[in-house]
């Protein structure tokens, strides 16, 4: 009797979870496809880039980065689709370190882009 009740509750919970997951999958924010940081010219994963600061201003959600790929010497534009905003450079370093560990975008080099080990001169002084 207890097993039947437990099984019944489990089925109900799974059905509710399935409905919730289907709703989540319909969320347009979840459906946005993001790609890895790749130069569109030379296709190098997470290339070393130079970025020049500007005095331009506008909404953060419409921010575009003009980057110069050091690998192929071409300019390309990065359009961030998701932001993680933190209060300190140490918080930013931790986020970058977590991303590097999860995604492995450093091509096996500790001196790539704005990785957690990047020097202070890159990535806006991080």
* 85-116: pLDDT as tens digits: 999 999 999 998 988 887 665 544 444 444 33
Q: Domain residues of the chain, as ranges?
A: 2-31, 49-125
- Is the pTM higher than 0.75? The answer reads no
* 62-82: pLDDT as tens digits: 888 999 999 999 999 998 878
Phi-psi region of 101 (alpha: psi -120 to 50; beta: other; left: phi over 0): alpha
């Amino acid at each position: 009797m207890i097993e039947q009740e437990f099984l019944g509750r489990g089925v109900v919970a799974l059905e509710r979870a399935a409905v919730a997951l289907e709703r989540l999958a319909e969320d347009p924010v979840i459906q946005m496809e993001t790609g890895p940081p790749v130069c569109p010219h030379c296709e190098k994963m997470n290339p070393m880039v130079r970025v020049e600061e500007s005095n331009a201003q506008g909404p953060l959600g419409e921010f575009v980065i003009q980057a110069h790929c050091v690998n192929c010497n071409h300019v390309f534009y990065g359009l961030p689709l998701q932001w993680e905003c933190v209060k300190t450079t140490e918080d930013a370093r931790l986020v970058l370190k977590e991303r590097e560990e999860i995604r492995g975008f450093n091509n096996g080099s500790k001196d790539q882009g704005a990785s957690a080990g990047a020097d202070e001169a890159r990535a806006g002084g991080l």
